Amino acid sequence: MDTFNELINGDKPVLVDFFATWCGPCHMQSPILEQVKQRIGDAATIIKIDVDKNPQLAGQYQIRGVPTLMIFKNGAVKWRQSGVFPANELERLLKENI
């Protein structure tokens, strides 16, 4: 939990993918996140949070459905969306926050 808080409070944007192993759309989102990571490199951090293994974190951010994607920077939520999201849009959103 400390490392999560340290990450989201940094000045580098962090894309958090709240997912579940049993979630079909979450499996579709994974390769999209890989693409985004390859495109933006170290300019942003991408982490995945399993809601079943981290229920208090999911509760803290009121995650009602998976996948839910959130972008944090300096501890603030800059963007949030549920459902599968395309790589181009995620890349654009992250670059806006760099």
Say whether 20 sits in a helix, a strand or coil: coil
Helical spans, DSSP H, in the chain: 2-8, 24-40, 55-60, 87-96
Residues with catalytic function: 23, 26
Rg of the Cα trace of the chain? 12
